[in-house]
Amino acid sequence: MTTTFDRRMLEALICPVTHEGLRYDAELQELVSQRAGLAFPIRDGIPVMLVDEARRLEG
Residue-level pLDDT at 3 = 55
2 part of a folded domain: no
pLDDT digits (tens, 9 = 90+) for 4-36: 666 677 778 999 999 999 999 999 999 999 999
Domain ranges, residue 35: 7-56
Cα distances from 56 to residues 8, 23, 30, 37, 38, in angstroms, run 25, 15, 12, 6, 5
Is the pLDDT at 54 greater than 50? The verdict is yes
Q: What CATH number is associated with residue 14?
A: 2.20.25.10
Residue-level pLDDT at 9 = 72
Predicted confidence band at 1 (pLDDT cuts at 50, 70, 90)? very low
Give the chain's domain count.
1
Residue-level pLDDT at 59 = 74
Rg of the chain (C-alpha set): 11
29 part of a folded domain: yes
35 part of a folded domain: yes
Q: What is this structure's pTM?
A: 0.85
1 part of a folded domain: no
